[in-house]
Amino acid sequence: MPRYTAPLDDMRFAFYDMLGGDTLLAGLPGGEAIGRELIDAVINEAARFNEQVLAPLNQRGDQEGCRFDKDTASVHTPDGFRQAYAQYVEGGWAGLTAPEAYGGQGLPHAIGVLVKEMIDSANLAWGTYPLLSQGAVDALLAHGEDWQRDVFLKPLVEGRWTGTMCLTEPQAGSDLGLLKTRAEPQEDGSYRIAGTKIFITAGEHDLTDNIVHLVLARLPDAPAGSRGISMFIVPKFRVDRAGAMGQRNAVSAGAIEHKMGLKGSATCVMNFDGAEGFLIGKPHKGLTAMFTMMNAARLAVGIQGLGLIERAFQNSLDYCRERLQMRALSGAVAPDRPADPIIVHPDVRRMLLTQRAFAEGGRALVLHTALQADIEERASDESQRQRASEVLGFLIPICKALLTEAAVECTYHALQTYGGHGYIAEHGMEQFARDARITTLYEGTTGIQALDLLGRKVMQLNGAGLRHVLDDIAGFCQRYATDEAMGALVGPLAVHAKTWGEITQELGRRAAKNPDEIGAAATDYLFYSGYIVLAWIWARSVTALPDSSLGESARQAKRDTAHFYFQRILPRTHTHLAAMRSGLDGIPAMS
């Protein structure tokens, strides 16, 4: 079984030494009690729960999968999932970052991200059950009526109920404007929801007494397309306005999907047969309400990618230190043994260092991004909140797409380092590769993230987020311009930042002539941007080393990985730049 040890030292390095996250949070209103003692207590306890409870269930959950009982339309989660969920609720993990007024602990998002990474490393499939409760909480807080908050928030925050996001329909995936589910107003102010949703994560399960579905549907007078979508709350068991649970609502699972990976997570077809629901927010403004959930959910999927990279890397590294095959080309490194450990081979180290670069760089990137969410939510200064919000909006599609695509790449590298043994189920490496694949698809495919980044965040919103990030990089490069030790990193970073600004303008000019140019460049633009952001993160990591808590060998590993990143990964930008410059012309029309 693959091991999992929470990377607490690197988490502390990234959060305290590099990003100053503890000081930053303590300086925000309401953050006075936050400090290293509190954060350490949370992550130490989370490490224990994830290493001891969730991680051992991961492989079994994959082998056993979920079972659907047609007669009762019920879903049985794999053995042990239910007990683990009970421990999760008892430990207060469900409400870690939720408001205290509703039974949560009110901790900042960035602390929640540290815990979430551990859950996703330990057991990605299990982690999908509590995953979407956060979205439901956010939507209710931002758009719900008082009685809806009173009735639904507490059980969601306490983890007694879980939430879902019911968007997708057979004909409506990326394009939610095509959805057909109907909502008929009733005299008592409720609605009757009718339609079929597919691919609904945790749509049905046996972990909690009730499930709260957030459903996108159309009112009878809805305009066509995405301007005619409204959001409804539809509980599995009906709930009155005093919060008492009543009869079963007319919503049920019709089937569960058989999938490539993530087998312990129930992916359900959900039938709404005139189920009682309540409007959240304004009629026809469902997409606005959904966007409230979207940022958190997309960052959450980026963290899923990170979690998989971390665990695959840990096992890959162990294996490469132990597995003996052939000699180093320059002569035996372990002459007393029958062959050298494969870690001596540069090609094996290429695969290991790629994983490390994305694991540690990705961790710092998601923490930096989550801190923007905390500033956006808590800072007293309006301009500070505005800036954080723009940076957050810009970095979210990068975190989501870059880290999930990196998870596909890195879990394949991890598998490859095991040779044929990686392909054999027993070692667990093939599970990581299969599980990783979904992360590039749900919550908006990589292509959709790319359109969001280039089409919306850069072109439509005038690139405010990009400008802030470029300013931050320019400030960093200026600060270390005369630091000889940083020259190998700061020089290429500054050159890349300059070209990034230029290509953005170039694409803007092309798009003004033909909007299809955006679609032709978007995915390359996303990766190009992501690799530069990660280069900045790695350069910052190196500058944080002298005052850090890391020991000398860990510091050297950081310097080596930064060097590797700049030599071996950052140059991928050249291909993306050439592809962008070839424009629409390079992608001929196909019949």
Say if CB 157 and CB 95 are below 8 A apart. Answer: yes
Separation between Cα atoms, residue 68 and residue 270, nearest integer Å? 13
Query: Of 43 and 132, which CB lies nearer to ligand FAD in the complex structure?
Result: 132
List of residues contacting ligand FAD (CB under 6 A): 164-168, 173-174, 199-201, 259, 262, 267, 438, 441-442, 444-445, 447-448, 451, 519
Separation between Cα atoms, residue 213 and residue 478, nearest integer Å? 50
Query: Of 56 and 447, which CB lies nearer to ligand FAD in the complex structure?
Result: 447
CB of 320 vs ligand FAD, minimal distance in Å: 31
CB of 524 vs ligand FAD, minimal distance in Å: 13
> Shortest Cβ contact with ligand FAD: which residue?
173
- What's the gap between Cα 80 and its chain centre? 25
Query: Of 153 and 215, which CB lies nearer to ligand FAD in the complex structure?
Result: 215
- What's the gap between Cα 158 and its chain centre? 22
CA distances in angstroms from 355 to 33, 116, 413, 482, listed in the order given: 36, 19, 8, 31
What contacts 578, CB < 8 A, 6 or more positions away? none
Q: Decide if 443 is catalytic.
A: yes
**Residue 234 burial (CB count, 10 A):** 26
- Say which of 443, 502, 506, 552 is annotated catalytic: 443
Determine which helix (DSSP H) or strand (DSSP E) holds 268, and give its type and residue range: strand 267-280
What is the DSSP annotation of 493-512? Answer: HHHHHHHHHHHHHHHHHHHH
CB of 255 vs ligand FAD, minimal distance in Å: 13
Say if CB 231 and CB 279 are below 8 A apart. Answer: yes
Q: CA 97, 173, 128, 456: dihedral to nearest 10 degrees?
A: -30
CB of 401 vs ligand FAD, minimal distance in Å: 11
Query: Of 226 and 445, which CB lies nearer to ligand FAD in the complex structure?
Result: 445
Separation between Cα atoms, residue 322 and residue 421, nearest integer Å? 13
Query: Of 24 and 451, which CB lies nearer to ligand FAD in the complex structure?
Result: 451
Any idea which residue has 């005369």 for tokens?
Answer: 482
Query: Of 251 and 486, which CB lies nearer to ligand FAD in the complex structure?
Result: 251
Separation between Cα atoms, residue 463 and residue 456, nearest integer Å? 9
CB of 264 vs ligand FAD, minimal distance in Å: 11
Q: CA 449, 450, 454, 456: dihedral to nearest 10 degrees?
A: -30
CB of 437 vs ligand FAD, minimal distance in Å: 9
Q: At 266, list the tokens.
A: 């129930």
Q: At 563, list the tokens.
A: 């060097």
CB of 49 vs ligand FAD, minimal distance in Å: 24
- What's the gap between Cα 573 and its chain centre? 23
Query: Of 10 and 204, which CB lies nearer to ligand FAD in the complex structure?
Result: 204
Backbone angles phi, psi at 66, to 5 degrees: -95, 155
**Active site residues per annotation:** 443
